[in-house]
């Protein structure tokens, strides 16, 4: 620290110190703790759970219009069926292809792999809808692979699969890398000293211990594939899944199909994911004995080919689509005088500036509010504050909005809040809170579960108040897990289009605006430039945030 401090910073410090001291005092009171728990439960029930379910239930009677129309019923059910099949295939492929890459990153055999580690997060920053357009260009309209005789595939089922794989893959890898790092290396070493080759070790020891991580990955990628709307529409062509069908009927002013399809999707996905949770944990990989082929699979040659495959899949099916939109437009963008136009906010760029601001304000508020309310909620769940039974029910219910298609969620929210007279800004904020809430609760729960309760108790016996213990023990220990929860929440909010469009036709977030631009043929260059700007801004913002967080977190403790 510099010896001479300016009056301003020292006053700021004093203020911070006195706020912390006051919070310390407050946290000692039981009533404060319980009112925190109570308000987090009220928030969950009133803002997250009931609005997302009740809106649909209010219009439940319109379902009969569909059931009595055989043609519409058939079309709806086909769309639902497609959604479920795509989500199933994509989540299975995500885990199958993500596990080898997560393995390479977590067990870091080579130093240069830390680059791959940070590249995995990159597609999270790209708005999903841009990924959709990018996918369309890469695999269909302007494929660079024409030089090797590949003329592209027309938009349809295959492009939808490619798109869904690309956006759900990074989340799966993130989760699996974290889980793999949590598994103590001793177990694998123990298996090896007992004579198991690497393949047998993975099959019998590591993967069974990774099961909860794999199930979480499957749930998240399955839900994300079901819920995605904006990007899917771009690459779907005439193909229809649930969200595409819902979007089309909204555009045509039809309410019944969307209520029906949403309802069926919600019920089916809850059933499927509950089944996955229930039976997935009971599933065991039988191990009678090691077969000779397992030693062959462990050989260096096979391992190297597998690693190579994992990296190629990541580079071509995930990273390239994430960047291709910008790469393909780079020439025309250079001649477009981007900076001049953006900074003088000419033409469409004034709308762009406002929408970026909208997105970041919404994302920031969403993250802050969710951090605030998910922390007491996670404490209730993990520390069983309201008894084991209530905790378990709350945990199950907290996942509801993540397994709900975002377009269905949006429909529900707009029906629920539609008559409230709230401004569009508030409606969009509420929608984003719903969509990101489970991410934050889930990461916080896993953070708290990893911190032994003894550590917290030790802090308390040494004289720390609950708040002191939290900021000086819990937060530093779990600093990076919190960070990834915050990043997932923030980027998800910036990416979101489906629910945003469902609750407001006038409020424009940047993702919504970019969708519009990409759809109008005259605005393609602007769309590319806008994406590049957004990616650049988001990366800078995340880096600054990371810096302040790591620095400030230390000072707080």
Partner 1 sequence: MPSVKVENVTKKFGGFTALDKVNINVDDGEYVSIIGPSGCGKTTLLRIIAGIIGDYEGHVYVDGRLFDDKPLEERGIGYVFQNIALFPNMDVGGNVSYSPRAKGLDNSVVRTTTMEMLELMKLRERYHDFPRSLSGGMQQKTALARALASSARLLLLDEPLSLLDLKVRTELRYELRRIVKDLGLTAIHVTHDQEEAMAISDRIIVMRRAQIVEDGTPVDLYLHPKKIFTGYFLGESNIFEGSVAQADEGTALIDLGGLVITARNTGFQTGEKVIVMVRPELIEIGGNISGRVLKKTLEGLFSRLILDVKGMRIVVKQPYSTVAELGEGSSVSIRLPEEHVLVYKHPGRDLYSEISLY
Listed ranges 81-89, 199-207, 363-371, 402-410: which one lies at the site for partner 1 (CB under 8 A): 199-207
From the CB of 379, what's the least distance to partner 1, in Å?
Answer: 24
Task: Judge whether 409 and 47 are in contact, CB under 8 Å.
Answer: no
Task: Judge whether 138 and 166 are in contact, CB under 8 Å.
Answer: no
DSSP secondary structure letter of residue 530: H
Listed ranges 287-295, 353-361, 405-413, 425-433: which one lies at the site for partner 1 (CB under 8 A): 287-295
Kindly tell me which of 290 and 465 has the beta carbon lying closer to partner 1: 290
Question: Residue 192 interacts with partner 1 (CB under 8 A)?
Answer: yes
Question: Residue 196 interacts with partner 1 (CB under 8 A)?
Answer: yes
**Residue 194 CB neighbours (<10 A):** 10
Question: Residue 301 interacts with partner 1 (CB under 8 A)?
Answer: no
Between the alpha carbon of residue 152 and those of residues 136, 325, 428, 528, the distances in Å are: 9, 16, 37, 21
Cα–Cα dist 161/83, whole Å = 11
Question: Residue 209 interacts with partner 1 (CB under 8 A)?
Answer: yes
By CB under 8 A, name the one of 31, 151, 186, 506 that touches partner 1: 186
Per the listing, tokens 């800078």 go with 540
By CB under 8 A, name the one of 205, 218, 382, 487 that touches partner 1: 205
Listed ranges 93-101, 198-206, 476-484, 525-533: which one lies at the site for partner 1 (CB under 8 A): 198-206
Kindly tell me which of 283 and 312 has the beta carbon lying closer to partner 1: 283
From the CB of 220, what's the least distance to partner 1, in Å?
Answer: 23
Between the alpha carbon of residue 459 and those of residues 117, 468, 473, the distances in Å are: 34, 8, 7
By CB under 8 A, name the one of 85, 194, 305, 556 that touches partner 1: 194
By CB under 8 A, name the one of 62, 212, 290, 351 that touches partner 1: 290
Question: Residue 287 interacts with partner 1 (CB under 8 A)?
Answer: yes
DSSP secondary structure letter of residue 202: I
Question: Residue 68 interacts with partner 1 (CB under 8 A)?
Answer: no
From the CB of 196, what's the least distance to partner 1, in Å?
Answer: 4
Kindly tell me which of 184 and 449 has the beta carbon lying closer to partner 1: 184
Q: What are phi and psi of 185, to 5 degrees?
A: -65, -25
Look up residue 153 and give its two tokens.
């595939």
Kindly tell me which of 202 and 382 has the beta carbon lying closer to partner 1: 202
Task: Judge whether 153 and 139 are in contact, CB under 8 Å.
Answer: yes
Question: Residue 286 interacts with partner 1 (CB under 8 A)?
Answer: no
Number of residues that bind partner 1 (CB under 8 A): 23
Kindly tell me which of 199 and 314 has the beta carbon lying closer to partner 1: 199
Task: Judge whether 96 and 299 are in contact, CB under 8 Å.
Answer: no
From the CB of 186, what's the least distance to partner 1, in Å?
Answer: 4
From the CB of 102, what's the least distance to partner 1, in Å?
Answer: 19
Cα–Cα dist 514/524, whole Å = 10
Question: Residue 191 interacts with partner 1 (CB under 8 A)?
Answer: yes
Give every CB contact of residue 538 below 8 A, 6+ residues apart in sequence.
Answer: 125, 491, 494
Cα–Cα dist 557/546, whole Å = 17
Look up residue 539 and give its two tokens.
């990366």
* Cα Rg of the chain, angstroms: 25
Task: Judge whether 435 and 409 are in contact, CB under 8 Å.
Answer: yes
Site for partner 1 in 166-185 (CB under 8 A): 184
Question: Residue 28 interacts with partner 1 (CB under 8 A)?
Answer: no
Cα–Cα dist 93/163, whole Å = 12
Question: Residue 187 interacts with partner 1 (CB under 8 A)?
Answer: yes
Task: Judge whether 271 and 400 are in contact, CB under 8 Å.
Answer: no
By CB under 8 A, name the one of 208, 348, 353, 553 that touches partner 1: 208
Q: Using CB under 8 A as the criterion, what x/- string covers residues 129-168 for binding partner 1?
A: ----------------------------------------
From the CB of 298, what's the least distance to partner 1, in Å?
Answer: 9
Listed ranges 58-66, 284-292, 349-357, 531-539: which one lies at the site for partner 1 (CB under 8 A): 284-292
By CB under 8 A, name the one of 204, 391, 465, 472 that touches partner 1: 204
Question: Residue 214 interacts with partner 1 (CB under 8 A)?
Answer: no
Question: Residue 193 interacts with partner 1 (CB under 8 A)?
Answer: yes
Kindly tell me which of 197 and 342 has the beta carbon lying closer to partner 1: 197
SS3 track for 405-465: CHHHHHHHHHHHHHHHCCCHHHHHHHHHHHHHHHHHHHHHHHHHHHCCHHHHHHHHHCCCC
From the CB of 277, what's the least distance to partner 1, in Å?
Answer: 18
DSSP secondary structure letter of residue 451: S
96, with CB counted inside 10 A (0-12, 13-18, 19+), is exposed
Question: Residue 450 interacts with partner 1 (CB under 8 A)?
Answer: no
Query: Measuring CA to CA, which residue among 532, 525, 138, 527 is closest to residue 332?
Result: 525
By CB under 8 A, name the one of 25, 291, 383, 384 that touches partner 1: 291
Task: Judge whether 446 and 478 are in contact, CB under 8 Å.
Answer: no
Question: Residue 288 interacts with partner 1 (CB under 8 A)?
Answer: yes
Per the listing, tokens 């070493």 go with 189
Query: Measuring CA to CA, which residue among 490, 537, 493, 529 is closest to residue 511?
Result: 493
Question: Residue 200 interacts with partner 1 (CB under 8 A)?
Answer: yes
From the CB of 208, what's the least distance to partner 1, in Å?
Answer: 4
Cα–Cα dist 179/491, whole Å = 21
Question: Residue 297 interacts with partner 1 (CB under 8 A)?
Answer: no
Question: Residue 215 interacts with partner 1 (CB under 8 A)?
Answer: no
| Residues binding partner 1 (CB under 8 A) | 184, 186-187, 189-197, 200, 204-205, 208-209, 287-292
């Amino acid at each position: 620290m510099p010896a001479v401090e300016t009056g301003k910073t020292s006053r700021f410090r004093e203020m911070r110190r006195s706020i912390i001291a006051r919070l310390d005092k407050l946290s000692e009171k039981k009533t404060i703790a319980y009112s925190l728990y109570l308000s987090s439960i009220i928030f969950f029930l009133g803002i997250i759970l009931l609005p997302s379910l009740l809106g649909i239930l209010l219009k439940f009677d319109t379902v009969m219009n569909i059931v009595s129309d055989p043609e519409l019923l058939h079309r709806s059910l086909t769309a639902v069926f497609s959604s479920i099949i795509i989500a199933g295939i994509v989540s299975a492929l995500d885990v199958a292809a993500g596990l080898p890459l997560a393995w390479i990153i977590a067990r870091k055999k080579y130093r240069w792999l830390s680059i791959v580690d940070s590249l995995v997060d990159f597609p999270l920053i790209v708005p999903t809808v841009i990924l959709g357009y990018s996918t369309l260009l890469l695999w269909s309209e302007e494929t660079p692979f024409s030089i090797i005789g590949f003329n592209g595939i027309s938009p349809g089922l295959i492009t939808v699969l490619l798109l869904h794989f690309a956006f759900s893959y990074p989340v799966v890898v993130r989760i699996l890398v974290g889980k793999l790092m949590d598994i103590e290396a001793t177990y694998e070493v123990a298996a090896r000293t007992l004579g198991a080759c690497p393949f047998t070790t993975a099959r019998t020891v590591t993967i069974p211990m990774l099961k909860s991580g794999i199930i979480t990955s499957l749930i998240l990628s399955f839900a994300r594939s079901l819920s995605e709307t904006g990007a899917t529409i771009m690459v779907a062509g005439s193909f229809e899944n649930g969200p595409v069908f819902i979007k089309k009927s909204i555009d045509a002013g039809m309410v019944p199909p969307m209520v029906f399809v949403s309802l069926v999707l919600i019920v089916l996905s809850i059933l499927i994911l509950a089944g996955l949770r229930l039976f997935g944990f009971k599933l065991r990989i039988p191990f009678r004995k090691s077969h000779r082929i397992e030693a062959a699979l462990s050989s260096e040659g096979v391992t190297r080919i597998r690693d190579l495959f994992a990296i190629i899949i990541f580079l071509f099916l995930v990273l390239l689509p994430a960047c291709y939109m910008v790469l393909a437009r780079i020439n025309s963008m250079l001649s477009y005088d981007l900076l001049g136009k953006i900074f003088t906010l000419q033409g469409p760029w004034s709308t762009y500036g406002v929408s970026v601001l909208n997105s970041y304000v919404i994302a920031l508020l969403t993250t802050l509010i969710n951090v605030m309310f998910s922390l007491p909620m996670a404490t209730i769940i993990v520390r069983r504050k309201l008894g084991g039974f209530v905790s378990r029910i709350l945990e199950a219910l907290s996942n509801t909005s993540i397994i709900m298609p975002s377009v269905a969620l949006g429909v529900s929210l707009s029906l629920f809040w539609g008559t409230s007279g709230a401004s569009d800004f508030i409606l969009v904020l509420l929608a984003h809170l719903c969509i990101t809430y489970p991410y934050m609760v889930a990461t916080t729960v896993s953070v708290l579960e990893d911190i032994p309760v003894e550590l917290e108790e030790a802090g308390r016996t040494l004289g720390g108040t609950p708040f002191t213990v939290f900021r000086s023990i819990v937060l530093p220990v779990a600093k990076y897990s919190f960070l990834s929860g915050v990043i997932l929440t923030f980027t998800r909010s910036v990416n979101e289009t489906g629910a945003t469009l469902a609750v407001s036709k006038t409020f424009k977030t940047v993702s919504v605006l970019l969708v519009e631009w990409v759809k109008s043929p005259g605005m393609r260059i602007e769309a590319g430039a806008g994406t590049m700007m957004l990616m650049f801004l988001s990366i800078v913002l995340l880096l600054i945030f990371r810096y302040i967080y790591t620095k400030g977190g230390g000072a707080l403790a």
